Amino acid sequence: MTDSRKEPKPRPAPVADAESEPYWKAVNEGRLIVQRCTVCGAHQLYPRWRCLRCRGQVEWVEVTGGGTVYSFTVIRQNFSRSFRHLIPYVVALVDLDEGPRVMTNVVGIEPDDVRIGMRV
């Protein structure tokens, strides 16, 4: 008999609303999009109806996904069965080249090799 408490559970799926639906659709297509203000040109993420800087109209634009690690932590303990099998993993704040600071995972590198200021 297997102990089902040790088996990974599926990760919780995000719930899209009217503001975030285009973002999640793009994610499912393997693209990263953010909002850009049509008035001042500022980029922002997470989705809002208006620009956070000038209250102007916003549009969705695809971005490169490149950026610089602003801060990070290595998760070495997690009590959720949905994430426990991923340990250790990195959660980071990354300044995208286009401007917004986003929270994301850093993958494809050993967690102990991640550094503040590194390009991702």
Structure tokens at 27: 């994610």
Q: What is the pLDDT of residues 33-75, one digit of tens each?
A: 999 999 999 999 989 999 999 999 999 999 999 999 999 999 9
What phi and psi, each to the nearest 5 degrees, are found at residue 9? -95, 155
Structure tokens at 120: 């991702």
Q: Give the pairing of strands 43-44 and 33-37.
A: antiparallel
Domain boundaries, the chain: 18-63, 66-120
Q: What is the pLDDT of residues 70-115, one digit of tens each?
A: 999 999 998 888 888 899 999 999 999 999 999 999 999 999 999 9
Give the H or E element holding residue 25. Answer: helix 21-28
